């Protein structure tokens, strides 16, 4: 199905470029081609951007919006070199690959002071851009993300042939973060209650072991979990989850990498990027053992299986999980059936960000940069945040302190906040306070940014001490809830597998093929065939004997 | 004297579009697969892909073995179920149009929809997904491919052979074993090929009906080509192996059925 979709996307892309090229010659309009994930922007914001563009430059702009469904589709498209797209939004490891292949233009969004060989983010802006109206929004981006990316991708070596070969660059100069999310465990809360494992202490001890039905001491977490675990059909995510599990379960105790550094002493970010043969063997072993506990591997049917009770737990990304949780509202239980849990001590965090391929149309560069900067405006970020469900790279203070952004959230989440919006339904009738989903902005802010509420005693408490279902601002909720405490240092960013890619693919292929043995099947079939042939033969023999007898009798 | 190529608008010209189609979408991709099989990550010549596959480093050979066995078993079950059905359909030929339609009808439903529905039924019945369900799905999907060629061959058998055998005193069993069965061999062979070849390369059925737990050769090829990057080499080797299997199967078919009839059915 994915293949079909990507084929469709490519077809569309081809058609769009075809029409675009002819259209350009006819009209005096600026244009911009955006290549993004499907469902990864609040659609109205594209129209709003056209308006904004007109305000700033006095010109109209045509936007061509094309989507992709996997980083690999996008990479294939871009590396072919004929893709005329101006701005792309890949994940961090795909950006790493693009930088290594020297396919991206540096932007210097975060140091726009000309310190980079005199190059500035705004240098492509022509005279028709109203500098008064342009606000550089780089300050709105969460510093923690920039630091994380600098740590993990600060020294990328360009390996492609050409003038830049061997140069070391930092990803921060090339990309502007857009959304981020975490890897975690999506589970059916009520199934967990039934299995009597819905307990903070138990789950925190089991940690990533939940996916392996291991309670943290090498014993089964619950017999009911056997055959009800889903794993993501994705090498990268499964690898990360397994490494964390190995670390947490103590399987890496006493093991060191080739430089003699103990795995358990490595920071998380370093550990998941240490893909050596020893670790790979361990991962392979754990994943193979895990198969006995699995319901199966999923690509996009995981949510349905969890809701229908086919499976109890799945490895999931925060945005998918958030969407699944919101979809899982059960009127009878008056609760969400699904919940999302991110183990406290280790985890994986990823980023998607905007980059500009070298094959872009140079005449579109100003529009590209205006667009990227526009997305970091608090109200635009708030709308995208609401629409997409992942965490926005725009920091929460910027959103909380911006009236427009608050208005966007208040309206979409139906918050009773007359100071922000006019609190009316679609017919224009006012909504009374007790019919709003949130009685005040303060209540909403506690829920949305901190996953908490004020109880009857006036204390701020977490909605659920196990579940981290509200992971829009994970580090904010961490700061407010001791129960949910985790810090950004415990989350590692994963790089591309690089030279080990082949070994990892081989290991994954091995894991997937293990545990399936069709030989007994052959045995049974051979047996069945033998029985049938034997029966037929016996029947024939009996018949022959009988007719022989008849003949003998006739002769007599 | 050099002959000059001159385009003449003869009847042959109507075949050119399809020839072009074949070259672009069959020959060229095959050549690309062949080239890819000998390239490593850095696009340099290597035998490593073959070494990796044939030493079973990633379990590729095991997967192939499993696929062959499952394909074989599927084919045998299809034959065991399909032959009596085709026989009965052919025997009551005059009023069997409706029944033939009933057997072809499922083929008109997209097989993904059929398979997803099968999964839903199994889930509703609380059947554990695994080898059994995959086998069921395969038999269900490939049965028509077994029945149709058998039905065609059985229908085309001249009824006078059977009457002659009966006249000569053969009982029903002997009539079947001595006339019908030998005369239907071409149908059996073509039914087997039409079932076995797709069955060993299937991937969607095993993916859906076992929640991806049963990993077959088609799944392995699919994984190397789509879910990962830079693993086209091993994937191409697997595809080549698949291709060899198809060729071998065809050679066997041609050897066993030298009849013109068989060729026409194929």
Span A380-420, pLDDT tens digits: 999 998 888 788 899 888 998 999 999 999 998 889 988 88
Measured N-to-C along each axis, helices B60-91 and B97-108 cross at an angle, to the nearest 10 degrees, of 150
| Residues in B 62-81 with any Cβ partner in A closer than 8 A | 62-63, 65-67, 69-70, 72-73, 76-77, 80
Tokens for A127?
């005279």
B95 touches chain A (CB under 8 A): no
The answer to whether the CB of B30 falls within 8 A of the CB of B243 is yes
Residue A210 is given by DSSP the state G
The confidence score (pLDDT) of residue B98 equals: 77
Higher-scoring residue by pLDDT: B58, A26: B58
Nearest CA in chain B to A236: B228
Cβ–Cβ gap B112/A506 under 8 Å: no
Coil vs helix vs strand at B169: coil
CA distance B62 to chain A (A): 7
Q: Can you tell me the distance from the alpha carbon of A391 to that of A178, in angstroms, rounded to the nearest whole number?
A: 9
Q: Can you tell me the distance from the alpha carbon of A297 to that of A286, in angstroms, rounded to the nearest whole number?
A: 15
A322-336 confidence digits (pLDDT tens): 888 888 888 888 788
Coil vs helix vs strand at A64: strand
Q: What percentage of residues in chain B have a pLDDT greater than 70?
A: 90
What is the helix (H) or strand (E) element at residue B174, kind and residue range? helix B172-175
B57, B62, B129 ranked by CB distance to A506: nearest: B57
B226 touches chain A (CB under 8 A): yes
Residue B114 sits at φ, ψ, to 5 deg, of -60, -45
The confidence score (pLDDT) of residue B237 equals: 93
Q: Residue A434: CB partners within 8 Å, gap ≥ 6?
A: none
Cβ–Cβ gap B73/A509 under 8 Å: no
Q: Residue A315: CB partners within 8 Å, gap ≥ 6?
A: A183, A184, A185, A186, A211, A230, A231, A232, A237, A238, A241
- From A23-27, A400-404, B164-168, B238-242, the region with the lowest mean pLDDT: A23-27
Cβ–Cβ gap A539/B123 under 8 Å: no
Q: How far apart are the first and last CA of chain B?
A: 43
Which of B188, B174, B193, B166 has its CA nearest to residue B87? B188
A230, A308, A513 ranked by CB distance to B63: nearest: A513
B144-154 confidence digits (pLDDT tens): 889 889 988 99
B72, B112, B230 ranked by CB distance to A501: nearest: B230
Query: Which residues from chain A sit within 8 angstroms of residue B213, using beta carbons?
Result: 291, 294, 296-297, 516
Q: Can you tell me the distance from the alpha carbon of A548 to that of A249, in angstroms, rounded to the nearest whole number?
A: 76
Chain B interface, best mutation among A277, A303, A516, by max B CB count within 10 A: A516
Query: CA A547, A551, A556 angle in degrees (round to 5)?
Result: 145
A9-31: average pLDDT? 58
B55 touches chain A (CB under 8 A): no
Q: Out of A281-285, B89-93, B250-254, give the one with best mean pLDDT.
A: A281-285
Residue A114 sits at φ, ψ, to 5 deg, of 75, 15
To the nearest 10°, the Cα dihedral for A13, A19, A21, A27?
Answer: -130
Nearest CA in chain A to B125: A310
What CATH number is given for A2-180+350-392 in this structure?
Answer: 3.40.190.10
Q: Dump the DSSP string for A140-190.
A: GB-HHHHHHHHHHHS-EEP-SSSTTTT-EE-GGGT-EEEEEEEEEEEEEHH
What is the helix (H) or strand (E) element at residue B61, kind and residue range? helix B60-91
Q: How many CB atoms lie within 10 A of CB A430?
A: 11
The confidence score (pLDDT) of residue A286 equals: 93
The confidence score (pLDDT) of residue A9 equals: 59
CATH of A181-349+491-513, one of 3.40.190.10, 3.30.450.20, 1.20.950.20, 3.30.565.10: 3.40.190.10
Average pLDDT of the residues of chain A: 84
B41, B63, B72 ranked by CB distance to A502: nearest: B41
| Residues in B 138-197 with any Cβ partner in A closer than 8 A | 171, 173, 177
B52, B213, B227 ranked by CB distance to A294: nearest: B213
Cβ–Cβ gap B135/A291 under 8 Å: no
B39 touches chain A (CB under 8 A): no
Q: Can you tell me the distance from the alpha carbon of A164 to that of A106, in angstroms, rounded to the nearest whole number?
A: 12
B28 touches chain A (CB under 8 A): no
The full set of domain ranges for chain B reads: 59-265
CA distance B55 to chain A (A): 12
Q: How many CA atoms does the CB half-sphere of A255 hold within 13 Å?
A: 18
Query: Which residues from chain A sit within 8 angstroms of residue B231, using beta carbons?
Result: 501-502, 505
Four-residue CA torsion sign, A537, A539, A545, A550: negative
A505-552 confidence digits (pLDDT tens): 888 888 888 888 888 888 998 899 899 889 988 988 888 888 777 777
Q: Can you tell me the distance from the alpha carbon of A361 to that of A30, in angstroms, rounded to the nearest whole number?
A: 11
Q: Can you tell me the distance from the alpha carbon of A483 to that of B180, in angstroms, rounded to the nearest whole number?
A: 77
The answer to whether the CB of A487 falls within 8 A of the CB of A478 is yes
Answer whether residue B13 shows pLDDT above 50. Answer: yes
A106-145 confidence digits (pLDDT tens): 988 987 666 667 677 887 787 778 888 888 888 899 888 8
B59-265 belongs to which CATH class?
Answer: mainly alpha
The answer to whether the CB of B234 falls within 8 A of the CB of B40 is no
Q: Can you tell me the distance from the alpha carbon of B78 to that of A525, in angstroms, rounded to the nearest whole number?
A: 12
Which of A465, A461, A430 has its CA nearest to residue A447? A461
Residue A508: exposed, middle, or buried by beta-carbon count in 10 A (0-12, 13-18, 19+)? buried
Nearest CA in chain B to A76: B229
Going from the C-alpha of B7 to that of each of B2, B15, B20, B223, the distances in angstroms are 16, 13, 15, 45
Q: Can you tell me the distance from the alpha carbon of A435 to that of A179, in angstroms, rounded to the nearest whole number?
A: 32
Residue with tokens 């890496």: A252
A548 touches chain B (CB under 8 A): no
Chain A interface, best mutation among B75, B213, B221, B224, by max A CB count within 10 A: B213
The full set of domain ranges for chain A reads: 2-180+350-392, 181-349+491-513, 403-485, 521-556
Query: CA A55, A58, A62 angle in degrees (round to 5)?
Result: 90
Cβ–Cβ gap B58/A518 under 8 Å: no
A237-260: average pLDDT? 88
The confidence score (pLDDT) of residue A23 equals: 47
- What confidence tier does B94 reach under pLDDT thresholds 50, 70, 90? low
């Amino acid at each position: 199905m994915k293949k079909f979709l990507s084929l469709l996307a490519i077809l569309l892309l081809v058609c769009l470029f075809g029409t675009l090229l002819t259209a350009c010659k006819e009209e005096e309009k600026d244009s911009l081609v955006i290549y993004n994930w499907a469902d990864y922007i609040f659609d109205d914001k594209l129209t709003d951007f056209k308006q904004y563009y007109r305000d700033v430059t006095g010109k109209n702009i045509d936007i061509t919006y094309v989507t992709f469904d996997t980083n690999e589709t996008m990479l294939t498209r871009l590396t072919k070199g004929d893709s005329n797209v101006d701005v792309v939004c890949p994940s961090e490891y795909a950006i790493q690959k693009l930088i290594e292949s020297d396919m991206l233009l540096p932007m210097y969004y975060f140091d726009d002071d000309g310190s980079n060989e005199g190059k500035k983010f705004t240098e492509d802006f022509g005279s028709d851009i109203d500098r008064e109206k342009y606000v550089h929004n780089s300050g709105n981006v969460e510093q923690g993300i920039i630091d994380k990316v600098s740590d993990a991708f600060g020294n990328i070596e360009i390996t492609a042939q050409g003038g830049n070969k061997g140069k070391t660059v930092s990803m921060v100069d090339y990309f502007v973060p857009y959304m981020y999310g975490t890897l975690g465990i999506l589970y059916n809360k009520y199934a967990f209650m039934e299995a009597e494992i819905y307990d903070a202490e138990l789950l925190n001890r089991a940690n990533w072991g939940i996916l392996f039905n291991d309670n943290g001491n090498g014993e089964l977490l619950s017999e009911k979990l056997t055959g009800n675990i889903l794993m993501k059909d994705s090498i990268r995510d499964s690898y990360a989850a397994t490494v964390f599990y190995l670390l947490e379960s103590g399987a890496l105790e006493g093991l060191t990498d080739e430089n003699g550094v103990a795995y358990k002493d490595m920071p998380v970010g370093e550990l998941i990027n240490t893909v050596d043969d020893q670790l790979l063997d361990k991962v392979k072993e754990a994943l193979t053992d895990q198969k006995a506990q699995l319901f199966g591997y999923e690509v996009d049917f995981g949510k349905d299986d969890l809701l229908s009770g086919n499976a109890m737990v799945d490895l999931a990304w925060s945005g998918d999980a958030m969407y699944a949780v919101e979809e899982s509202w059960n009127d009878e239980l008056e609760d969400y059936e699904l919940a999302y849990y991110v183990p406290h001590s280790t985890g994986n965090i990823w980023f998607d960000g905007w980059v500009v391929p070298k094959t872009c149309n140079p005449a579109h560069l100003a529009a590209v940069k205006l667009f990227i900067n526009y997305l970091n405006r608090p109200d635009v970020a708030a709308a995208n945040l609401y629409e997409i469900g992942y965490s926005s790279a725009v920091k929460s203070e910027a959103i909380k302190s911006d009236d427009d952004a608050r208005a966007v959230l208040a309206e979409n989440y139906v918050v009773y906040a007359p100071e922000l919006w006019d609190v009316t339904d679609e017919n224009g009738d006012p909504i009374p306070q007790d019919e709003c989903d949130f009685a005040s902005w303060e209540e909403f802010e506690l829920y949305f940014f901190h996953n908490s509420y004020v109880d009857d005693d006036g204390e701020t408490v977490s909605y659920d001490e196990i579940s981290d279902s509200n992971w829009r601002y994970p580090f904010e909720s961490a700061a407010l809830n001791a129960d949910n405490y985790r810090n950004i240092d415990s989350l590692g960013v994963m790089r591309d597998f690089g030279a080990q890619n082949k070994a990892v693919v081989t290991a994954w292929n091995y894991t997937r093929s293990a545990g399936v043995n069709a030989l007994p099947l052959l045995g049974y079939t051979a047996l069945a065939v033998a029985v049938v042939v034997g029966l037929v033969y016996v029947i024939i023999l009996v018949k022959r004997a009988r007719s022989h007898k008849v003949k003998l009798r006739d002769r007599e | 004297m050099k002959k000059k190529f001159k385009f003449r608008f003869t009847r042959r010209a109507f075949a050119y579009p399809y020839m072009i189609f074949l070259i672009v979408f069959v020959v060229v991709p095959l050549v690309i697969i062949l080239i890819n099989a000998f390239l490593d990550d850095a696009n340099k010549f290597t035998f490593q892909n073959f070494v990796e596959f044939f030493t079973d480093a990633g379990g590729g050979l095991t997967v192939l073995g499993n696929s062959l066995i499952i394909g074989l078993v599927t084919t045998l079950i299809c034959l065991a179920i399909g032959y009596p059905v085709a026989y009965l359909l052919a025997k009551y030929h005059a009023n069997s149009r409706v029944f033939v339609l009933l057997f072809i009808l499922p083929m008109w439903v997209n097989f993904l929809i059929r398979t997803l529905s099968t999964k839903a039924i199994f889930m509703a019945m609380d059947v554990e997904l695994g080898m059994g369900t995959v086998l069921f799905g395969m038999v269900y999907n490939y049965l028509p491919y077994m029945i149709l060629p058998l039905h065609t061959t059985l229908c085309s058998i001249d009824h006078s052979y059977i009457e002659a055998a009966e006249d000569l005193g053969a009982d029903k069993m002997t009539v079947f074993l001595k006339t019908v069965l030998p005369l239907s061999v071409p149908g059996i062979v073509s039914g087997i090929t039409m079932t076995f070849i797709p069955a060993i390369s299937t991937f969607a059925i095993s993916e859906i009906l076992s929640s991806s737990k049963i990993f077959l050769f088609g799944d392995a090829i699919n994984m190397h080509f789509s879910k990962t990057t830079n693993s086209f080499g091993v994937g191409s080797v697997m595809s080549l192996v698949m291709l060899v299997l198809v060729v071998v199967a065809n050679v066997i078919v041609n050897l066993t059925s030298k009849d013109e009839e068989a060729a026409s059915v194929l």
